[in-house]
Amino acid sequence: MMRFFCILLLSLSVFSSQADVSTSPKANMHETTETPSVVNDALIIQASKKLAASSLRKMPAQVKQFAEIEHPKVRYVLTQLMNGDLYYVKATKQIVTREKDTDGSYKIWHGISKAALPNVKRSALKKVKTNNAIRKSIRGLLAQLDLTSPDKGVRLAAMQELLSKPSDETVTLVKKLSLKEQDEDVLSLMNSVIYVQQLSSADAALQLEAAKALQNSLEPSVKNALEKTLAATDIKNIELRKALETAISKIEQKRSIFSIIENLFFGLSLGSVLLLAAIGLAITFGVMGVINMAHGEMIMLGAYTTYVIQQVFPQWIEYSLFMAIPAAFLVSGFVGILIERGVIRHLKGRPLETLLATFGISLILQQLVRSVFSPLNRQVAAPEWMSGSWQINPIFSLTYNRLYIIVFALMVFVALLLILKKSSLGLHVRAVAQNRDMARSLSIKSDWVDAATFGLGSGIAGIAGVVLSQLTNVGPNLGQAYIIDSFLVVVFGGVGNLWGTLVAAMTLGTVNKFLEPVTGSVLASIIVLVGLVLFIQKRPKGLFPQKGRAAD
């Protein structure tokens, strides 16, 4: 058993390190690129002095000149100017930013290097003049600056900004830049910008070409532009109209495909959560035939274990989940074994009584958690590598945490399947489940197997708790929300059938997510519940019933 978990952990850690690599460049980009060159330092200081001294009339020209300097601080200075936060010292024409100090004088910082300078009186400072027209032109200049930024992310964002309102001036710039552009993503966006601009040209042939070229773009603003052009096009211009219409319908087709994929993804991620929550139950209920209403509380205990681990090792949040997974397995598994030995063992063959007793245990555990941790919800931090998303195209992205959860749920599923099918424990469990007396007479310790099975099922519920702690707040009622769902998944899939549980969980998750946009989330879960109840009428043994003959 331990070996499987080692494999599990190993593979998880591989995942996390990959995630680290993929996210880190973005975060560091801004810092590393700001290495000012000595030559331009002098230029920018000179230009900044001109900027300070300039009259309002000459200002636009000065600003433009300033923006042309190749210096990493240009953007900063212009932003300050646009926001009206830029001042200069009257005596030296030195541009600064200021903040009122406690004694009434002003703290000032160098306008370019951001170095702190000695405090001055208010009268020594003057605001660098701006007006709305200048602010507007700065905005345009900033966009251009972004277009040439060495950071791909900044360039993409700037290009997207342009896409919604391209002007002739910017398009010429973009055309120029596109010759030098190396990155494919940025390049295709640049082409989109150029074609969007071309759509509004007077030449019908150019328009037609643009419409045809744009049908592969998924940017929302491209679609807007196409629709706008369609509305403005003369009815007689059939060819162009047709081209526009096909472009729009092609885009819409693609979008609907992606929205289906997105729903599918959400559905699968919900399904994996259900799978994790239900799979422990599939063992205790499905294989052992024990109704454990405290199963939800095993999940809750796992979630609280994660919380405790993060509290104990606040410096290791990044690795907390890897510690929490085995810890939660042990905690929940141990409590599960206690329950089995203390209560369930004595109620063998009385399922309804087992149901009641374990329900009582679930109440006690909930209250215990309330007394120990407070009834309030607890926030469990998400490690860095769990956040963020994988942007596949402009309208479609997958969040990492859901992606990992799907993978993790499947790994747990496979591990469990292997335990049951390949290990000796699994062999004993299946033997006891099939025929207890026969198993006993073959010297299998059925008591021990019961306890171990129950511990395994509960431990997996604990692992589900670790996962849930990443998706929702951790509170005493966490488990209750999942217990009914888990039972339904197990019953739907067919009791005693792990594959059935997998299919059922994924089906329920997906159906739920596809219903949600249409009906709203509450109604969706009601529909699913009622649908399931009806399904169980038709097939009381679930999707994949166990074959066999029995009558009482």
Partner 1 sequence: MSNKSGSILLDLKNKFNTLHWVVASLFIATFYVTFCNLVFAEGSIFHVSSYTVTLFGKYLCYAMLALAVDLVWGYCGILSLGHGAFFALGGYAMGMYLMRQIGDRGVYGNPELPDFMVFLNWDALPWYWAGSDSVAWMVVMVFVAPAILAFVFGMLAFRSRVSGVYLSIMTQAVTYALMLAFFRNEMGFGGNNGLTDFKEIVGFSLQSESTKLGLFIVTAIALAFAFFVCHFIVNSKMGRVVTAIRDAENRVRFVGYKPENYKVWIFVVSAMIAGVAGALYVPQVGIINPGEFSPLNSIEMVIWVAMGGRGSLYGAIIGAIVVSYAKTRFTAIMPEAWLYGLGGLFVLVTLLLPKGIAGMLPQLKSKFDEKFGKTNNVKTSTPVESK
Q: Which residues in this chain contact partner 1 in the complex, by CB under 8 A? A: 291, 343, 346-347, 351-357, 359-368, 370-371, 480, 484, 487-488, 491, 522-523, 525-526, 529-530, 532-534, 536-538, 540, 551-552
d(CA 162, CA 146): 11
User: Could you tell me the smallest distance in angstroms from the CB atom of residue 457 to partner 1?
Assistant: 16
Question: What number of residues does the chain have?
Answer: 552
CA distances from 218 to 156, 164, 210, 214, 268 (A): 14, 13, 15, 9, 24
Distance from the Cα of residue 36 to its chain's centroid: 36
User: Between residues 356 and 425, which has the closer beta carbon with respect to partner 1?
Assistant: 356
Contact (CB, 8 A) for 99 and 26: no
Tokens of 426: 């699994």
User: Between residues 50 and 345, which has the closer beta carbon with respect to partner 1?
Assistant: 345
Residues β-bridged to residue 520: none
User: Could you tell me the smallest distance in angstroms from the CB atom of residue 529 to partner 1?
Assistant: 4
d(CA 124, CA 258): 59
User: Between residues 248 and 365, which has the closer beta carbon with respect to partner 1?
Assistant: 365
Tokens of 249: 């319908």
User: Could you tell me the smallest distance in angstroms from the CB atom of residue 1 to partner 1?
Assistant: 28
User: Between residues 205 and 372, which has the closer beta carbon with respect to partner 1?
Assistant: 372
User: Could you tell me the smallest distance in angstroms from the CB atom of residue 434 to partner 1?
Assistant: 19
Q: Which residues contact 95 (CB under 8 A, 6 or more apart)?
A: 48, 49, 51, 52, 77, 86, 87, 88, 111, 112, 128
User: Between residues 365 and 460, which has the closer beta carbon with respect to partner 1?
Assistant: 365
> For 129, which DSSP code?
P
Contact (CB, 8 A) for 38 and 49: no
* Amino acid identity, position 313: F
d(CA 270, CA 406): 9
User: Could you tell me the smallest distance in angstroms from the CB atom of residue 367 to partner 1?
Assistant: 4
User: Between residues 452 and 488, which has the closer beta carbon with respect to partner 1?
Assistant: 488
User: Could you tell me the smallest distance in angstroms from the CB atom of residue 355 to partner 1?
Assistant: 6
User: Could you tell me the smallest distance in angstroms from the CB atom of residue 535 to partner 1?
Assistant: 10
Helix (H) or strand (E) holding 94, with range, is strand 94-100
Question: CA nearest 272: which of 412, 459, 380, 397?
Answer: 412
Burial grade of 277 (CB within 10 A; 0-12, 13-18, 19 or more): buried
User: Between residues 147 and 291, which has the closer beta carbon with respect to partner 1?
Assistant: 291
Residues β-bridged to residue 393: 396
User: Could you tell me the smallest distance in angstroms from the CB atom of residue 293 to partner 1?
Assistant: 8
User: Could you tell me the smallest distance in angstroms from the CB atom of residue 533 to partner 1?
Assistant: 6
> For 71, which DSSP code?
-
User: Between residues 426 and 509, which has the closer beta carbon with respect to partner 1?
Assistant: 509
Contact (CB, 8 A) for 279 and 448: no
User: Between residues 118 and 540, which has the closer beta carbon with respect to partner 1?
Assistant: 540
Give the torsion through C-alpha atoms of 290, 294, 295, 296, to 10 deg. 150
CA distances from 24 to 16, 206, 314, 316 (A): 12, 42, 22, 18
User: Between residues 173 and 536, which has the closer beta carbon with respect to partner 1?
Assistant: 536
User: Could you tell me the smallest distance in angstroms from the CB atom of residue 295 to partner 1?
Assistant: 12
d(CA 82, CA 215): 37
User: Between residues 159 and 483, which has the closer beta carbon with respect to partner 1?
Assistant: 483
User: Could you tell me the smallest distance in angstroms from the CB atom of residue 311 to partner 1?
Assistant: 22
CA distances from 97 to 41, 107, 113, 121, 145 (A): 18, 8, 11, 13, 22
User: Between residues 499 and 535, which has the closer beta carbon with respect to partner 1?
Assistant: 535
d(CA 257, CA 336): 45
Tokens of 66: 């300033």
User: Could you tell me the smallest distance in angstroms from the CB atom of residue 360 to partner 1?
Assistant: 2
> For 380, which DSSP code?
P
Burial grade of 432 (CB within 10 A; 0-12, 13-18, 19 or more): buried
